A and B are shown apart, each in its own frame.
Chain A
Amino acid sequence: MEIFQTIANMTGAALAQHVANGISLGSLYALIAIGYTMVYGILLMINFAHGDIVMMACYFAYFGIAVFNLPWYITVVVTVVLTALLGALIERTAYRPLRDAPKNSVLISAIGASFLLENLANYLFSGRPKRFPRIPILEQNVSLGSVQIQVISFVIPVVTILGLLILLHIVNHTKTGMAMRAVSKDYEIARVMGINIDNVISATFMIGSALAAVGAFMWGVKYPGITPMMGVMPGLKCFIAAVIGGIGNIKGAVLGGFILGMGEIMIVAFFPQLSGYRDAFAFIVLIVILFYKPTGLMGEKLMEKV
């Protein structure tokens, strides 16, 4: 059996390196998956433009640092604010007019928003890749024995966990969060009870987009080539992560992200000859999990979303 030989030959250092790579990639997926799951939880719609929001955030950060010469920590704040506004704008123009339309129309509108962003970026920034600005403090290497880890790879999981905790606090312990939960249960009734559902939904999009902006910034530091189409694959993968975890469930999205990221690294680690089929892994995991748990790992039958 080739697999046993691969494991036997793998040194502890290589295994530790694979684990570090997996955690770093997984937490990046998790951060972006949260945005998907939040929007779905509230509106029962998949925001296909989410990946493209990540892309736009990368360009905002690029312009902040490379063109306007802002320090990177200020750029993070500016990027988060701009991206949150972009998220709200998309909701306002593409989704709100369709609030009472069939769910399919909203889905098509989301795909339209995604194409609009991609083509807009193509037109404004050209299709040629741009280099995400260098941030030496985040890019430098830390050696743990023979394991090499970039500082950013430590930062990503910490930020993801922090983001998760803040979000859970907002959803479970604030007024806005209570309104979000109410809207997710039944927005007709919530509306009757005097909740301004438009504001609640805007807030949801802004929070989801802000998290996407944070994810985008770290994505850019880690994988510094940015193009108008860069959001498509992360968008798809993180959507899968959200579904694996049980779409609508925030903790589930984080779990799904880790499973996907770790799995993608480990399949190459243990089956090097399968390295070209890495993307297929995501879809196989999705199928297998949905086969046994149609609502995802942490999804509930009654769909208590968010």
Chain B
Amino acid sequence: MKFKKILAALLASSLAIGALTGCGGSKKEAGKDGDVIKVGVFLPLTGDNAAGGELELRGIKLANKLHPKVMGKKVELVVADNKSDKAEAASVAARLIEKDKVKVIVGSYGSSLSMAAGNIVKEAKVPAVGTSCTNPQVTANNDYYFRACFIDPFQGTVMANYAFKKGAKKVAIIQEVSNDYAVGLAKFFKDAFEKLAGPGSVIETANYQTGDKDFSAILTNIKAKNPDAIFAPGNFTESALLVKQARQLGIKAPFLGGDTWETQEFIDVGGKDVEGVAFSTAFDREKATTPEAKKFLEEYVKEYKGEPSALSALAYDAYLIAINGIEKANSLDTVKIRDAIAATKDMEGVTGKTTLDKNGDPIKGAVIKTVKDGKFKYLDFVAPGK
């Protein structure tokens, strides 16, 4: 009988844990609905993309701390974890809208996750501002999805130009095929690179799945083709393992990637093997020119220690876009908020001034970074439209 009790205690504690991790944000029901304006935070806080999600949550919390009020009312963040899972993302987004009755949603990290919520926000007519979801499909044909980051056709072109400028004539692509972000980015890179170096200059395209750990087979194939550079957009953990295994197999070609690589875990897992990779991202201290950016840098270092990543900066800006929309609409009608967000022009944020185009995408430049001595280091800046 004693063991039945222990079992019951174990089960009860597991339920408690589930409750703690599952809905950390909705714990405190502060005041009545009239006193606060609810903003949904829609991010992967567990699962494969958790590191990115947590960095963005930092940015949103910081923005909320510095800009806690809109229309004279307190902004309450309702944090929801989409668990890095497309199916979960759809139900979490529905819950934010139907149960928590948020006026606007901020997030997500990851294009696949944002796209999973696309139809839900569109049908409920609640605007969403993506943080770092760079695939064009997120905002295309969806009047209710906006974003704070640049999009993949631009990012892919930037990296193709960079590879070509560095003397690469034939490149290989290794993409995380179950990730809309990686597939889109790889396609735009391929289009841009073949325009520069001629058809057939992308000599191999290999695929892997999210969560894969062993890349030895595709890397052995690619080693035999001897490319000048390898473009490998994907999740940071898989990418770090991929680069590591490539070096272990004796592949010397430089690796290029996208903005997902800018997490400490990429360096932790990859170690010395990821030194010298190049990737595009949205923000760097070197380009922090606006007063908002200075405030952000100061507060971030105070609050979290260490250097902020582009993900935190983008999430900060996404929150600002959302709050500005509510302020300008001067109404809690979600359709009016949407219209105000769509009209965002020259809004000053951390990553520069944001103007949204007719798709809801901002027009902004990219920073190219590398890893040196275990730290991210600024390499170059590419202005928009190049």
The answer to whether A and B belong to the same complex is yes
How many residues does chain A have at the interface if contact means C-beta atoms less than 8 Å apart?
Answer: 53
How many residues does chain B have at the interface if contact means C-beta atoms less than 8 Å apart?
Answer: 46
B217 touches A227 (CB 8 A): no
A116 touches B46 (CB 8 A): no
Listed residue (A96, A131, A269) with the most chain B CB atoms within 10 angstroms of its CB: A131
A123 touches B17 (CB 8 A): yes
In the complex, A169 has a CB within 8 A of chain B:
no
Q: With CB as the reference atom, state the residue of chain B lying closest to A128.
A: B51
Write out, one digit per residue, whether chain B residues 103-120 have a CB within 8 A of any chain A CB (1) or not (0). 000000000000000000
CB neighbours (8 Å) of A93 from chain B are 3, 6-7, 10
Q: With CB as the reference atom, state the residue of chain B lying closest to A92.
A: B3
B208 touches A276 (CB 8 A): yes
The distance from the CB of B101 to the nearest CB of chain A, in whole angstroms, is 27
Report the stretch among B220-228, B314-322, B353-361, B362-370 that lies at the interface.
B220-228
Pick the contact of A129: B21, B206, B265 (CB < 8 A). Answer: B265
Write out, one digit per residue, whether chain A residues 267-301 have a CB within 8 A of any chain B CB (1) or not (0). 01100100110110000000000000000000000
CB neighbours (8 Å) of B331 from chain A are none
In the complex, A264 has a CB within 8 A of chain B:
yes
CB neighbours (8 Å) of B241 from chain A are 223-225
The distance from the CB of B138 to the nearest CB of chain A, in whole angstroms, is 22
B249 touches A272 (CB 8 A): no
CB neighbours (8 Å) of B221 from chain A are 14, 268-269, 272, 275
B249 touches A129 (CB 8 A): no
Q: With CB as the reference atom, state the residue of chain A lying closest to B18.
A: A119
CB neighbours (8 Å) of A272 from chain B are 204, 206, 218, 221
In the complex, B177 has a CB within 8 A of chain A:
yes
A11 to B223, CA, bound (A): 11
Chain B residues close to A by CB (< 8 Å): 3-4, 6-7, 10, 14, 17-18, 20-21, 45-48, 50-51, 54, 177-178, 204, 206-209, 211-214, 216-218, 220-221, 223-224, 237, 240-241, 244, 248-250, 265, 268-269, 271
Chain A residues close to B by CB (< 8 Å): 9-11, 14, 17-18, 21, 24-25, 92-94, 96-97, 115-116, 119-120, 122-123, 126-131, 134, 141, 143, 146, 148, 150, 219, 222-225, 227-230, 232-233, 264-266, 268-269, 272, 275-276, 278-279
